[in-house]
Structure 1
Amino acid sequence: MDGLAEVVGLVAIAVIGTALARRLGLLAPIVLVIAGLGLSFLPFVPEVHLDPHLALVGILPPLLYVAAVETSVPAFRFNLRPILLLAIGLVVVTAFLVGTVLHLMLPGVPYAICVALGAVVAPPDAIAATAIARRVRLPRRVVTILEGESLINDATALVLLRVSVAAATGAAVGFFNVATEVALAAGGGIAIGVVGALVFAYVHKRIKDPLMDTALSLLTPFLIVLPAEVVGASGVVAVVVAGLYLGHRIPKLMSAASRLQTEGFWRIARFLLEGMVFLLVGLQLRDVLRSMKTPWIEVIEITGAVVGTLIGTRFLWIFLTVYLARLIPRVRRRDPLPPASYPAVVGWAGMRGVVTLAAALALPRPDEVAYPRALFVWLAFAVIVVTLVLQGATLPWYARRLRIPPDDPNEDTLAEAAVQNAASRAARDRLDQLAESAPAGTVDRLRELAEHRANKAWERLGPSETPSRAYGRLRREMIDAEREVFRSARDEGRIAEEVLRRAQRDLDLEESLLQRTTED
């Protein structure tokens, strides 16, 4: 019962903290981390220990999966070069630079375990990047690059961590060993991800029950990551590959009802998991401080050096790769040089999260390697807090100072209107082919509906209330009136509860379709 009470309490705090953050216009991840830090000092709050294996296999896969499902594959493919430069190149460079700085400050600690700590703190967090970048409303390409980086960089960091720990514990680590490790992690992860994606796509296509579709969607990341873990492949890569494929194919794999139900489920699941993750990070402070034996002056110096190296390396690497890549004519023609504000904001958006903490907690025990493990865990924790609170909190201000122009909504509306016009024309052509099989009045109503949908996107370009918005506003008032009649009839015993629920569901579905019209 105590365990259940702790879980319920954490969920409640996460929900309250997120609601408070939205009320105050703050970023929820930052509020939850700070709340966790404060709660960790209260004597009546029980200690909550984050199991690193649970975090990497139980919490991370579903969050990575839903992020990958929502990622645009064409945009991901177009930005593959900057994504790989960040997710692979920057992680490796950061790990070795941080390891070198740490080894210089702690010369008695083996270099390999210092590089392991560098691998722990190198990857920005997928959850933090997605939650904060979208909230700040950065340009779509910047968000795509940040999301793509955070989807892949965990695999790079975990492979490098595994190799570094093996070297630190005395295992033979040569070029062949490293190449084999990388091939197994990356190649095996891709293979398992592709096979899993094909299998689940086949099953989704044959499922007609929305509830079963949603249940299968929940199981998918776990059923993919577990075999990857068994064979030693990268579960992160496998889940991301499967998510990208299935997300791209979802319009052909699921019915409309399944998509609506699955999307609603993942929204609440991601909301709760993200809130729990950031709260758990903050709650680890008490345990981390209790294990510290290093003098605080030395701790502050080392922490400052590690955080400074992380931030400085990210900025230097991004600007170098952005400008050096444009020296290649083919790259310059395909992708012109962006304004300096774009790499500057990507450089500042390097928030770390739960993967860093879980990887730090998975570092070897001091009896396996002679090193100050408590200090290393503190460094990982400090990196998370500093990057989340400092960079995450100042990112909106920083983006405004750089005067980064947001995406023009009119461009999206114009593109949507053009495609909607073509879609409506195709719908009318199909209707003309089938017109003889339906009453004339029905065909006329369907033609009016197609015309209405074709005009709706163009209307949104106007500044005043459009006919579509007025229609949505008035129809919602009518739906409220209909609901009240059904509720009264149920209360008076004139209809059964099942009749009310059936009518309520039809009205709710119609209102959900009107929601976008009234919000645009």
Structure 2
Amino acid sequence: MHPIEIVTGLLGLTTLMTVVARWVQISYPILLVIVGLLIGWIPGLPPVILSPDAVFLIFLPPLLYAAAWQIDNVELKLYSRPVSLLAVGLVLFTSTVVAFVAHIYIPGFSLAQGYLLGAIISPPDAVAASSVMRGLTIPKRITTVLEGESLVNDATSLIIYRYGLAAILTNQFGLWEASLQFVGIALASVALGLAIGWIIIRVHKIVGQDRISSTAITLLTPYSSYLIAENLHISGVLSVVTTGLFLSVRTDQLFTHQSRLQTNSVWEVVIFLLNGLVFVLIGLQLPSIVADLNGYTLPEAVNYALLISLVAILCRLIWVFPGAYVPRWLSKGIRKREERPTWQQIAVLGWAGMRGVVSLASALALPNLLPNGTPFPGRDLILFITFIVIFCTLVIQGLTLPLLIEGLKVKEDIDEKREELRLRRNMALEAITYLEANHSAGSVHDDVLNYVKNAYELRINELNGTLRAQNQHERPAELYQQAVQLQLELITVERDVLIGLRKGSLLDGEIFRNLEQELDLEAARLSLVRQMEDSLESGKT
């Protein structure tokens, strides 16, 4: 079977399974891993081998870039301390514990091999975390810390991985030298990411209002950042993440509103397809991994893998509670600066350490032979353990995470939704103020002024009605809900007219698409407002 046919089939499967996952109400990466695992055992199918170069070059840069782009930079800066403790401290802690456990309990497994295994399985994956957490109603603080941790810890683990691999290949390892190089590589990677981000802003300004070129530049940016960093022998992961974080707060310098809408739509589809393909490919790897399991019986390998999986899960649970509370006990500044998290929130954070594609790619990238021509020690077992750790954390923890959130009654903070409503109200009020200050003296026709002003006043009245209902613990005014529903009905009427004209060949295709997009955007805005209102009502009840 031709590779193009395989990829096309997997993409189709990804789309179908995503719909099924929505029906059964589980995260689609979990279902895709299970389906890929089942497909891999079907007799007669050609093996699908996931190349580490493909993961690191094709999949990883855009997925990390998109995750960095979506994270809240203000929140990330606010919670930089817990993110750093998890992204650096927890990775080092997990790598060390896994190294000693593997060295003690797996016959013939050296400490260097243990550190290499620990570096591979220690970092939770940014793609897995964001995919599994999407749709769960949890406080934004938890999602920010998880996503921030997952963005940075890849760089930490891959640097440890490099030195663990070097220790096995050369039988030499200098801790002090490795520590200095770790800091140097991290600083150089961040500096490169910032420099590339600065250049990309200038490129976008040259392109101007060309929507196609602007979108193309955003697709090329993560690959450029990654490749330049890797060619300079520094961290491509950290460089891509830095570029994404730098540019995400400067969208006003990059896009017009048209190019922003188009770029967001393109990226949403690209990330969906890459995410789905990666997770189904993870599931397809097990048959080939088991077939190459030389020197160990399958029951032995399963026992070792389950032991390491348990150690990885327990390390995170052991780390998160002291990491959350001990610094607060020692520092008055932290107590003033950061809100005290509940133990339920910390428990959710500890249980959300899903591993994913970076771990598998790191394991697959291990060489088959040492420089002297002998087989790389324990490579097959490391691969098998890595897959089982991914499966246990992604599937078992991913499936039980919603149950844990519900059982511990960890809910999204209602104040976040209220803050958004207040922001919308302030924007509308400022618009009214601007109209009265600049266009009330006959600068525009009175009918035009009244029409625009009435539209903003209606929006303010809607939002004020919502806020009053919140303050008085009452249900929102029925008039507000009727107004939103009526506007949605009218959009449907307009859409029917548009479609009728299009079917009668009375409307140019480009005009049709432009008008359809206007209706879609307005319907999306109204639906979002109604959804926020429903969430506020359910939160109060």
Q: Normalising by the residue count of structure 2, what TM-score does the alignment of the two structures yield?
A: 0.90
8 A Cα contact 2:98 2:114, kept in partner: yes
- Secondary structure of the 2:134 match is helix
Structure 2 counterpart of 1:485: 497
C-alpha separation in 2, matches of 1:504 and 1:484: 10
Q: Which residue of the other structure, out of 330, 335, 351, is the alignment partner of 2:354?
A: 351
- CA shift at 1:468, angstroms? 4.8
Structure 2 counterpart of 1:415: 419
When structure 1 is superposed on structure 2, of 244-253 and 381-390 the one drifting more is 244-253
Query: Is 1:471 paired with 2:490?
Result: no
- Secondary structure of the 2:329 match is coil
C-alpha separation in 2, matches of 1:490 and 1:83: 53
Partner AA of 1:470 in structure 2: Q
Structure 2 counterpart of 1:302: 304
Structure 1 pair 61/519, CA: closer, same or farther in 2 (3 Å)? same
Structure 2 counterpart of 1:376: 382
Structure 1 counterpart of 2:283: 282
Partner AA of 2:387 in structure 1: F
Q: Which residue of the other structure, out of 454, 469, 480, is the alignment partner of 2:460?
A: 454
1:26-45 → structure 2 map (5 Å cutoff): 26-45=26-45
C-alpha separation in 1, matches of 2:506 and 2:314: 71
Partner AA of 1:302 in structure 2: Y
Structure 1 pair 366/99, CA: closer, same or farther in 2 (3 Å)? farther
Partner AA of 2:269 in structure 1: I
- CA shift at 1:151, angstroms? 0.5
When structure 1 is superposed on structure 2, of 149-158 and 329-338 the one drifting more is 329-338
Query: Is 1:434 paired with 2:438?
Result: yes
Q: Deviations over 1:261-320 (max 9, x none)?
A: 111111111111111111010000110110012023322331122112111111111112
Query: Is 1:218 paired with 2:213?
Result: no
Structure 1 pair 88/447, CA: closer, same or farther in 2 (3 Å)? same
Q: Which residue of the other structure, out of 334, 337, 360, is the alignment partner of 1:334?
A: 337
Structure 2 counterpart of 1:233: 234
- CA shift at 1:230, angstroms? 0.4
- CA shift at 1:377, angstroms? 0.3
C-alpha separation in 2, matches of 1:456 and 1:418: 12
8 A Cα contact 1:95 1:118, kept in partner: yes
- CA shift at 1:169, angstroms? 0.9
C-alpha separation in 2, matches of 1:496 and 1:84: 55
8 A Cα contact 1:414 1:458, kept in partner: no
8 A Cα contact 1:303 1:382, kept in partner: yes
1:184-333 → structure 2 map (5 Å cutoff): 184-206=184-206, 207-293=208-294, 294-328=296-330, 329-333=332-336
Structure 1 pair 330/498, CA: closer, same or farther in 2 (3 Å)? closer
Q: Normalising by the residue count of structure 1, what TM-score does the alignment of the two structures yield?
A: 0.94
C-alpha separation in 2, matches of 1:242 and 1:256: 22
C-alpha separation in 2, matches of 1:312 and 1:493: 65
- CA shift at 1:455, angstroms? 2.8
8 A Cα contact 1:468 1:517, kept in partner: no
Structure 1 pair 51/466, CA: closer, same or farther in 2 (3 Å)? farther
Structure 1 counterpart of 2:368: 365
- CA shift at 1:209, angstroms? 2.1
C-alpha separation in 2, matches of 1:491 and 1:133: 42
C-alpha separation in 1, matches of 2:443 and 2:528: 33
Query: Is 1:102 paired with 2:113?
Result: no
1:14-163 → structure 2 map (5 Å cutoff): 14-163=14-163
C-alpha separation in 2, matches of 1:346 and 1:485: 50
C-alpha separation in 2, matches of 1:77 and 1:46: 47
- Secondary structure of the 1:169 match is helix
Q: Over the residues paired in the alignment, what is the CA RMSD in angstroms?
A: 2.1
C-alpha separation in 2, matches of 1:302 and 1:57: 31
8 A Cα contact 2:328 2:334, kept in partner: yes
8 A Cα contact 1:125 1:352, kept in partner: yes
Q: Deviations over 1:52-109 (max 9, x none)?
A: 1211222111111111111111110111111111100110111111111111123533
8 A Cα contact 1:326 1:336, kept in partner: no
8 A Cα contact 2:83 2:148, kept in partner: yes
C-alpha separation in 1, matches of 2:421 and 2:111: 58
Partner AA of 2:309 in structure 1: V
C-alpha separation in 2, matches of 1:237 and 1:507: 40
- Secondary structure of the 2:426 match is helix
8 A Cα contact 1:87 1:149, kept in partner: yes
Structure 1 pair 80/501, CA: closer, same or farther in 2 (3 Å)? closer
C-alpha separation in 2, matches of 1:502 and 1:75: 36
8 A Cα contact 1:159 1:181, kept in partner: no
Runs of 5+ unmatched residues, structure 2 = 470-474, 533-541
- Secondary structure of the 2:500 match is helix
Structure 2 counterpart of 1:516: 528
C-alpha separation in 1, matches of 2:494 and 2:321: 59
When structure 1 is superposed on structure 2, of 377-386 and 138-147 the one drifting more is 138-147
Q: Deviations over 1:162-186 (max 9, x none)?
A: 0011011116432453135313431
- CA shift at 1:24, angstroms? 1.0
Structure 1 counterpart of 2:10: 10
Partner AA of 1:158 in structure 2: L
- CA shift at 1:474, angstroms? 2.6
8 A Cα contact 2:425 2:464, kept in partner: no
- CA shift at 1:136, angstroms? 2.5
- For these two proteins, the number of residue pairs brought into alignment is 518
8 A Cα contact 1:166 1:173, kept in partner: yes
C-alpha separation in 2, matches of 1:205 and 1:470: 44
Q: Deviations over 1:401-437 (max 9, x none)?
A: 22223321xx234323433333233222322343132
- CA shift at 1:217, angstroms? 1.1
8 A Cα contact 1:109 1:370, kept in partner: no
C-alpha separation in 2, matches of 1:167 and 1:211: 47
Structure 2 counterpart of 1:425: 429
Partner AA of 1:284 in structure 2: Q
- Secondary structure of the 2:170 match is coil
Structure 1 pair 100/519, CA: closer, same or farther in 2 (3 Å)? same
8 A Cα contact 1:349 1:395, kept in partner: yes
- Secondary structure of the 1:338 match is coil
When structure 1 is superposed on structure 2, of 246-255 and 140-149 the one drifting more is 246-255
Share of identical aligned residues, percent? 34
When structure 1 is superposed on structure 2, of 62-71 and 422-431 the one drifting more is 422-431
When structure 1 is superposed on structure 2, of 122-131 and 262-271 the one drifting more is 262-271
- CA shift at 1:490, angstroms? 4.0
Partner AA of 1:428 in structure 2: I
- Secondary structure of the 2:135 match is helix
C-alpha separation in 2, matches of 1:512 and 1:376: 48
